[in-house]
Amino acid sequence: MLQFVLRRESVELDEVAPILTTVRRADDAGGAADLARLVHGTAMATRRRQLRTTR
C-alpha cells in the first residue's frame, strides 16, 4: 500500500530496507508518526542523491 501511495505522488525511494525492517503495530500512533518521519527522511535523502548525480 505504501508503494502505491508513494508512486501516485511521484515519490521515489532508493533505499527501502530501513522501512521494510521496521515493525509497527497498527494501533501505535507514535509508531505511525515515526514511520512517517522515516519515509519522509528517506524520500528527502533520495532526492538529494538524485540531484547530486544529475549535476
Per-residue model confidence as pLDDT tens digits over 8-34: 999 989 999 988 888 888 799 999 899
User: Which pLDDT does position 24 carry in this prediction?
Assistant: 80
Cell of 19: 522501512
Using the predicted structure, report yes or no on whether residue 55 has a pLDDT greater than 90: no
User: Which pLDDT does position 46 carry in this prediction?
Assistant: 95
Q: Which residue has the higher pLDDT, 54 or 50?
A: 50
Contact call for residues 15 and 46 (beta carbons, < 8 A): yes
Confidence category of residue 48, pLDDT binned at 50, 70, 90: very high
| Euclidean distance between CA atoms 8 and 11, whole angstroms | 8
